[in-house]
Structure 1
Amino acid sequence: MSIDSNKLFKDYVADLKNYDEILKPTKEINKNWTQLFDNIEAIGSDELHELQSEIDWLMAENGVTYNVYNDPNGLHRPWQLNAIPFIIHENEWSEIEKGIQQRAKLLDLILKDVYGERKLIKDGIIPPEVFYEHRGFLRQCDQIEYTTPKNLMIYSAELSRGPDGRMWVVNDRTQAPSGMGYALENRFTTSRITSELFQNIHVKQPSSFFNDFSKMLMDAAPEGVENPNIVILTPGPHNETYFEHAYLSSLLGYPLVKGNDLIVRNGFVWMKSLKGLKKVDVILRRVDDSFVDPLELREDSYLGVAGLLEIVRNKNITVINPIGSGIIENSGLVPFMNAICNYFFDEDLVLPQIASWWCGQEKERTFVLKNIKKFVVKRIDRSNRESLYFCEFLSEKEIDTLKEEIIKNPFRFVAQEKISFSSAPNYVNGKLEPRKVVCRTFSIAKDGCYTVMPGGLVRVASERKQLRVSNQRGGISKDFWIVSDQKQENIQQYTWSKSKNSGASDMNDLPSNTAENLFWSGRYLGRALTTSRFIRTVLNNMNNERYNTRKSESEILVYLFKAVTNITSTFPGFVGKGSEKTLENPLKELQSLILDKNRGGSLAQTLNSFNNSYYTLRNLWSKDMWRVFDSIKKLWKDYDQTKEYSLNSLIKLLDRTITRLIAFMGLIEESIMVNQGLLLYFIGLQMEQATMNIAKSRSLIVFNYEDYLNYEILEAFLNSHESLNIYRYSYQSYLSVENVVNLIILDKTYAKSLHYQLNRIQKDIARLPIPENSIGLNECQNKIAEACYIMDSINSETILTTNKDNSLRENLEKTLSDLSDLLHETSLAISNTYFDHTYQQTQMVQQKIEN
């Protein structure tokens, strides 16, 4: 098959100088790619364009993101997946697989040696500075022994095809290799959207690899542990690959924890759960080496667990990969790798590397400095992402500065031959363009050796002429196909037993940070919904006044404006100093209360707070929930707080927001079981709704209005509560304060009444696990019981009595004030009882861990 007649390949070879994956020198398509492009021709270019659009849509719908710090488009950048996969035949892959297995075994031996006997240094195979000048070498990890057959349990190799047509190793990833989850999500997406491209192509599937991965985690537990408790340690939702952390947590079924979810006690690591402490046996970490233990490593780290390293030394926990494994992510090792391979295995490396010169040796340094324009120069560690110099593009001044750095710290630099790696087709704007390619595949320890994922993660450069392939620079991913001549099983199994006798998880398996975020998700959602509805009611009343200018309605608006400030606590607003001026342009103030994300109590800030809680919990939520959540984000993205909006446009925003919030709340119960943490969401939701219910009642119905105002105030109150129709159906009478209080405050059966909400909170709190060493009722149970007692004791006849001047219902105000205080105290008691993250240890002697 030739490309000359194919419109998709227009201008494909215009500036093509190096090896291209799909083309022979004759411009014919390579055999491995022929069937794929037969399939593309069969579906046509228009359909291919639709498939790419569907992929983009699904990635956004499923919330697949890659976090980029200081990105002007926002932190959570959508993950990009191109419709055209990357293909390697299994015959070639089998040789690559052998090379990866060899390299993983070799790096495992290097890791054992550098923190053990150090024979490589003693026997002169590696200069000591290669290790000791690398910031990944942690002296605190010296002589630690492990119970697992391999120290290096997970290894990731970055590969690219060199000028000889073979796959070369570009980088080694050993601390906390990322990309496995993205690779699997890529496969799920292409299987769903681009099934036509798979026609008559036998693609190897990664399901058995992930089964081995789960088994490896279980088998890594310390000796004597039958049913290990495994957790995934994440730096948190702002980390670049947090999506993957949450994805693997959801896929594997292991809790996703942050450093302050874990604590060291009595020689073991424990997870703080609602009931108490639960022993942890295996940590799959996604936190870099120096941050994992602030007691022995970086004292300023809040990402790790104080004392973890000592528990590792005592073999009471397994950390994957071992702390200190960043030392072998070391480009300074590259010039010596073949010699190391011969030293350990008496054989050469299977996979070639880039020709490299370590500047710590005088002869090599002299050669590099003399020919520096020919090289790519980098530091031996990855401490600075930008410490990579394409010297041919540097100015003379920049070259001189770089030379000075090399002379000053020669041990920290390595020079590598500039290689133009292969390109592969990327579908862009209706045609195919060649883009530079880097592949990342994964290997895990299994049965004393290593097993390799069939495929992995492929990234291509963001632009046609871009040399560097980087997610930070806008790189695009591809599905990675290992194709076979033999038919493959299409039905894949991605469920597994977490232990030999595993039962259903419960709230004792819930990390304390997760529990707290569930609680606050409920509170933020309750606050956002109540705030949206009340401000919408006020805006609708303003809209009505345009057609009717009776004095009573003007007075009503003033009362409603003041109620907005009191309910949202956005003082001074309509009631404090300067309120007269604010009342002259109430729409400006209301717009601020809706859109100003920097204003405490505003709807925008509440939604932003919920946004943060949501991301922390994304391993728990369903894809449908993500879609609703994302639709809220997209809706609000179009609104700028600095612009002025009409009354109707703000009402429309609130209408659409309320609908989406209700949809989101309806989906929550489908994502997580009550005894697995949903109970905390319910408690938070009911507590916020009860608190806002009290705030609205105190703002609107504790005052005794004149008759001509009373009806309008009560109608607005019920409208904001979405209870007007229920009131009419229940009482079939003129609006009265007595009936409104009976419905909204005293009714035991109405789900939106304060009485019902307090009883629900009490019942749900009683279902929470009793903390260890607790005797009798805890404080949160006592406080809510006191609130329920007050509610049960209310006399409906005396609660509405007014003061001497007949302006205020004093008993109602006093009761609501007491209930508000008790709800606040209940919330504090819940936090103190179940969400205590304050434990912190500090170093007695400061360790010097360089940035």
Structure 2
Amino acid sequence: MPITSTSWLSNYITEYKNDEMFTPDNGIKPYWNKLLTEFDKLGVNGLMARQKDIDWLLSENGVTYNVYNDPKGMHRPWNLNVVPFLLHQNEWSTIETGLKQRAELLNLVLKDIYGERNLIKNGIVPYEVIYGHRGFLRQCAGIEYPTDKFLSMYAAELARGTDGRLWIVNDRAEAPSGMGYALENRSTTSRILPEMYGKMNVKRLSGFFKDLNKMLINASPVKKENPHIVILTPGSRNETYFEHAYLSSFLGYPLVQGNDLVVRDGFLWMKSLQGLKRIDVVLRRVDDAYTDPLELREDSHLGVAGLLDVVRRKNVSIINPVGSGVIENPGLIPFMPGIAKYFLNESLILPQIASWWCGQEQEKKYVLDNLSQLVIKKIDRTNRESIHFAEFMTSSELNDLKKEIERSPYSYVAQEKISFSTAPNLVQGTIESRNLVTRAFCIASDKGYSVMPGGLVRVAPDSKTVRVSNQRGGTSKDFWILEDHPIKEDKNRQWQNRSPIAISGLNDLPSLTAENLYWAGRYVGRTLVISRFIRMVMRQIALVQNRNEKPDSVKLQVLFKAVTHLTGTYPGFAEKTTEGKLAMENPMEEMLSVILDKNRPGSLAHTIEMFGNSYYAIRNLWSSDMWRVFENIQKLWQNFQDDKDRSVNKILKVLNQLITRLIAFMGLIEESILVQQGLLLYFIGLQLEQSMLTISKCRSLLTIKYEEQVEYDLLEYLLTSHESLNIYRYSYRSFIQLENVLDLVVLDLEYPRSLTFMLNRIQKDIARLPHSQEDHSLSNYQKYIFEAFSKLRLAESSKLAKTKSESDFFREDLDTLLEELSDLLYKTSQTITSTYFNHTDKQNQLVMQSFPI
């Protein structure tokens, strides 16, 4: 069929006959022709503009994929190509039926492997294939599950074979990822290509995710309308952490880590601020062997000790069951036709990649004789590097591989080398072909299995790359299943039998989430205070440079030492050591280190990094506007670190921008979550940190008495860094005096930036914490903060401003008060931490076991 314009195909060159856009006779498939016609209306510039819109939207929404050991950083932006992947419903209906059959078949395989093992007893599958795979966990044998099916979630990787049909390449069941990314891809493309999305009659994803939510609710061992469901993540450094947070926000279930959960009396509980909350269902994203350090990998910090015992008692449902990874075994593929006949008396609907298990003599001989034409994998594949593309190997490497196969034949499986199909991709203004692999998803439902009408499409980064992987720089596509008739809009966006969000109040807040909220407050407060103080110091350095003076004045030396005390970057300017003297002799070098050295604890760069880590850990709680501001902060700082300009003016410009964005970020926090959903912890952390740093600034600048002009300047510097200079002038209408400064910055009960006001705010906030309300007596942290507040209320600025004699230069009363306050605030923080954030409950295996990584 001719297309409207051939301009899109002028550079469309593919070395493969197997292309998604063309029919076997090299015609354009009708639905691809329809898409290209729409692209013609946009033109090259219009389509590139839409691609830029996609890139911008993904960046604004903070869609990331963590690439391990990436020099560009952990959180790489997710890449989505503007050209979608298209399949017609006529072809998809066969694929959908085949996926349901395979999911049902693997469900029976999983049940048999951990049950009667008839497949092994009857010789359908050799025992080495099962027992030689790391996914088989003997600890899971004999466990029965309260769910209708063992296999609740299943993903299949599909690629088009030489016969023109989509083949099964791999099975994924341990903790299959990609659903969240597929949903985000759809959300993005439907916004950027709304006219095409409507005209092409694309099947919606909403029904599948309703089924997912219903499956989680129905999985509860105790059938109730509102079971407690959590999503278990390994943490923010996992490669697909964005998806974990995304699904948590989308489905409305708490995102927890192993330390948030604990086993007591045969049940699984979530640690909340008030106590333990029983959990009914866990949607896990932690690999099998790491889920229970008591019975499985004892070095795991990702799971929950005793979890398998709770599963055996049928007191919790794990989706998917621990041990599901055994069916990801490529060694099973050669035996799948026989398994289908044994269990279902059916032939496989979907073809699968031709595979030979080397544990059989005839198959091993075939593999060794044809090694250079095959792809060799270990059945117990533990990392991507264990795949051998024999055609690219040297003779020496092939000989070594043959020896390995001869030494341990049951450990290897060989597969036919297939050329993945190609599909159109927009690349720098032209349409080019790229290899692709599709991941399709199934979930258990009342009628068997429900299949997502689409999936996650991954595309090779360039035309020469055979392996398709996000870790290797691949991109993605939205997957459109097309109907011939218009799709009705799903007007009912409510979940059926929706379980309420578990994070409904402080009593239900996971303890690790609460801790991250607390530290998010502390780090954002620390970043803001340090940025303001360093900005003030850099302004004084700029003035000295403009006058061509040496930075050795008394007031600058005091400021430099204050920087060290405030940031904790000792010895720095503070100590009388060789390093201290050198720092004072070359203050700009030390200041640059305090600002930019992210490996130096206490530096501004290190503080910003810690602020970022705490934010990522609870990103499922934040609004999209907060994410945009946060991303702007990260980009600003990354660009500054990459910039070779280290001038004072450049630093001041960046600090001004950083402070403005931090203030915007802090203003948005209150719009993201309710006080009783965790914002209270953020406020407590923020006020505590700002109080401690206010004390540090006052001790550094005010406790020593200097000559009159120096003292006046230091008071002005303090007010400037505290953003209080204008308020001071408006309030006192006089020259700056120490007593007035102490009244405003330290003792004023009405001024929000004063130490007394902040401690009073902390008093009120911590009184709302669960343990504060258990009886009429004060908790320890309440006692400490009450004592600190009382000391301030009893203090008098006139006495604090005095020295013992005219010849004395040390304001002992002021220093003593500030030291006592610092100690009490430290004790308050420690007591809050030990009361609410104690994750040190450790259990050890009675028997040592070895699990390969």
TM-score by length of 1: 0.97
Q: Map 1:454-603; keep pairs closer than 5 Å.
A: 454-490=453-489, 495-496=494-495, 499=498, 505-547=504-546, 554-576=553-575, 577-578=577-578, 579-603=580-604
Task: Supply the distance in 1 between the matched residues of 2:44 and 2:819 (Cα, whole angstroms).
Answer: 67
Cα distance, 1:196 vs structure 2 = 3.4
Aligned to 1:99: 98
Q: Map 1:165-564; keep pairs closer than 5 Å.
A: 165-490=164-489, 495-496=494-495, 499=498, 505-547=504-546, 554-564=553-563
Aligned to 2:842: 840
SS at match of 2:298: coil
Cα distance, 1:375 vs structure 2 = 1.1
Cα distance, 1:628 vs structure 2 = 1.2
Aligned to 1:813: 815
What amino acid does structure 1 have at the position aligned with 2:693?
M
Please give the per-residue CA displacement for 1:185-231, whole angstroms capped at 9, x wherever unaligned. Answer: 00111111122332521001101111110111011011344421111
What amino acid does structure 1 have at the position aligned with 2:145?
Y
Cα distance, 1:490 vs structure 2 = 3.8
Native 8 Å contact 2:86 2:481 kept in 1: yes
SS at match of 1:211: helix
Aligned to 2:723: 722
SS at match of 1:798: helix
Please give the per-residue CA displacement for 1:612-653, whole angstroms capped at 9, x wherever unaligned. Answer: 111101111112111111111111212348956111111111
CA 1:546 to 1:659, structure 2 compared with 1: closer, same or farther past 3 Å?
same
Task: Supply the distance in 2 between the matched residues of 1:551 and 1:480 (Cα, whole angstroms).
Answer: 65
Task: Supply the distance in 2 between the matched residues of 1:772 and 1:422 (Cα, whole angstroms).
Answer: 64
Task: Supply the distance in 1 between the matched residues of 2:368 and 2:139 (Cα, whole angstroms).
Answer: 35
Native 8 Å contact 1:255 1:509 kept in 2: no
What amino acid does structure 2 have at the position aligned with 1:306?
A
Please give the per-residue CA displacement for 1:522-556, whole angstroms capped at 9, x wherever unaligned. Answer: 11111111111011101112222345589999332
What amino acid does structure 2 have at the position aligned with 1:207?
S
SS at match of 1:82: coil
How many residue pairs were aligned? Answer: 850
Please give the per-residue CA displacement for 1:389-412, whole angstroms capped at 9, x wherever unaligned. Answer: 111111111111111111111111
Cα distance, 1:581 vs structure 2 = 2.8
Aligned to 1:609: 610
Task: Supply the distance in 1 between the matched residues of 2:225 and 2:772 (Cα, whole angstroms).
Answer: 26
What amino acid does structure 1 have at the position aligned with 2:418?
I
Task: Supply the distance in 1 between the matched residues of 2:455 and 2:550 (Cα, whole angstroms).
Answer: 71
Task: Supply the distance in 2 between the matched residues of 1:690 and 1:615 (Cα, whole angstroms).
Answer: 25
CA 1:185 to 1:492, structure 2 compared with 1: closer, same or farther past 3 Å?
farther
Task: Supply the distance in 2 between the matched residues of 1:552 and 1:45 (Cα, whole angstroms).
Answer: 58
Please give the per-residue CA displacement for 1:646-704, whole angstroms capped at 9, x wherever unaligned. Answer: 11111111111111111111111111110000100000000000001111111112222
SS at match of 1:638: helix
* Structure 2 unaligned residues grouped into runs of 5+: none
CA 1:501 to 1:490, structure 2 compared with 1: closer, same or farther past 3 Å?
closer
SS at match of 1:718: helix
Identity, % of aligned positions: 57
Aligned to 1:11: 11
What amino acid does structure 2 have at the position aligned with 1:189?
T
Task: Supply the distance in 1 between the matched residues of 2:755 and 2:623 (Cα, whole angstroms).
Answer: 31
Cα distance, 1:28 vs structure 2 = 3.1
Task: Supply the distance in 2 between the matched residues of 1:262 and 1:157 (Cα, whole angstroms).
Answer: 31
Task: Supply the distance in 2 between the matched residues of 1:536 and 1:606 (Cα, whole angstroms).
Answer: 16
Task: Supply the distance in 2 between the matched residues of 1:287 and 1:832 (Cα, whole angstroms).
Answer: 27
Task: Supply the distance in 2 between the matched residues of 1:338 and 1:774 (Cα, whole angstroms).
Answer: 67
Task: Supply the distance in 1 between the matched residues of 2:458 and 2:551 (Cα, whole angstroms).
Answer: 66
Compute the RMSD of aligned alpha carbons. Answer: 1.9
Aligned to 1:129: 128
TM-score by length of 2: 0.97
Please give the per-residue CA displacement for 1:504-527, whole angstroms capped at 9, x wherever unaligned. Answer: 711122111111111111111111
SS at match of 1:44: helix
Native 8 Å contact 1:2 1:29 kept in 2: yes
Aligned to 1:154: 153
Please give the per-residue CA displacement for 1:722-749, whole angstroms capped at 9, x wherever unaligned. Answer: 1111111111111111111111011101
What amino acid does structure 2 have at the position aligned with 1:806?
D
Cα distance, 1:6 vs structure 2 = 2.1
Task: Supply the distance in 2 between the matched residues of 1:612 and 1:497 (Cα, whole angstroms).
Answer: 35
Please give the per-residue CA displacement for 1:469-505, whole angstroms capped at 9, x wherever unaligned. Answer: 1111111100000011121134565553675677871
Cα distance, 1:53 vs structure 2 = 1.1
Task: Supply the distance in 1 between the matched residues of 2:335 and 2:621 (Cα, whole angstroms).
Answer: 46
What amino acid does structure 2 have at the position aligned with 1:558?
Q
SS at match of 1:426: strand
- Give yes or no for the alignment of 1:764 onto 2:756: no
Cα distance, 1:25 vs structure 2 = 4.7
What amino acid does structure 2 have at the position aligned with 1:846?
M
What amino acid does structure 2 have at the position aligned with 1:692?
L
Task: Supply the distance in 1 between the matched residues of 2:494 and 2:733 (Cα, whole angstroms).
Answer: 56
Aligned to 1:746: 747
CA 1:501 to 1:684, structure 2 compared with 1: closer, same or farther past 3 Å?
closer
Task: Supply the distance in 2 between the matched residues of 1:540 and 1:494 (Cα, whole angstroms).
Answer: 55
Native 8 Å contact 2:5 2:40 kept in 1: no
What amino acid does structure 2 have at the position aligned with 1:195?
P
CA 1:184 to 1:494, structure 2 compared with 1: closer, same or farther past 3 Å?
farther
Task: Supply the distance in 2 between the matched residues of 1:738 and 1:725 (Cα, whole angstroms).
Answer: 17
* Structure 1 unaligned residues grouped into runs of 5+: none
SS at match of 2:800: coil
CA 1:772 to 1:700, structure 2 compared with 1: closer, same or farther past 3 Å?
closer
Aligned to 1:686: 687
What amino acid does structure 2 have at the position aligned with 1:10?
S
CA 1:711 to 1:558, structure 2 compared with 1: closer, same or farther past 3 Å?
same
Native 8 Å contact 1:22 1:424 kept in 2: yes
Cα distance, 1:771 vs structure 2 = 7.5
Task: Supply the distance in 2 between the matched residues of 1:815 and 1:456 (Cα, whole angstroms).
Answer: 63
Native 8 Å contact 1:276 1:772 kept in 2: no
Aligned to 2:2: 2
Please give the per-residue CA displacement for 1:552-607, whole angstroms capped at 9, x wherever unaligned. Answer: 99332222112212222222222211333322221111111111111121100101
- Give yes or no for the alignment of 1:54 onto 2:53: yes
Please give the per-residue CA displacement for 1:73-102, whole angstroms capped at 9, x wherever unaligned. Answer: 111111110000001111111111100000
Task: Supply the distance in 2 between the matched residues of 1:109 and 1:432 (Cα, whole angstroms).
Answer: 44
What amino acid does structure 1 have at the position aligned with 2:271?
K
Task: Supply the distance in 2 between the matched residues of 1:719 and 1:408 (Cα, whole angstroms).
Answer: 74
Native 8 Å contact 2:254 2:501 kept in 1: no
Task: Supply the distance in 1 between the matched residues of 2:546 and 2:554 (Cα, whole angstroms).
Answer: 16
What amino acid does structure 1 have at the position aligned with 2:725?
L
Cα distance, 1:847 vs structure 2 = 2.0
Native 8 Å contact 2:16 2:422 kept in 1: no
Task: Supply the distance in 2 between the matched residues of 1:491 and 1:798 (Cα, whole angstroms).
Answer: 71
Q: Which residue, 826, 829, 850 being the options, matches 1:827?
A: 829
Task: Supply the distance in 2 between the matched residues of 1:826 and 1:566 (Cα, whole angstroms).
Answer: 21
Task: Supply the distance in 1 between the matched residues of 2:451 and 2:622 (Cα, whole angstroms).
Answer: 30
What amino acid does structure 2 have at the position aligned with 1:183?
A
- Give yes or no for the alignment of 1:77 onto 2:76: yes
Aligned to 1:668: 669
CA 1:533 to 1:64, structure 2 compared with 1: closer, same or farther past 3 Å?
same
Native 8 Å contact 2:253 2:501 kept in 1: no
Q: Which moved more, 1:495-504 or 1:308-317?
A: 495-504
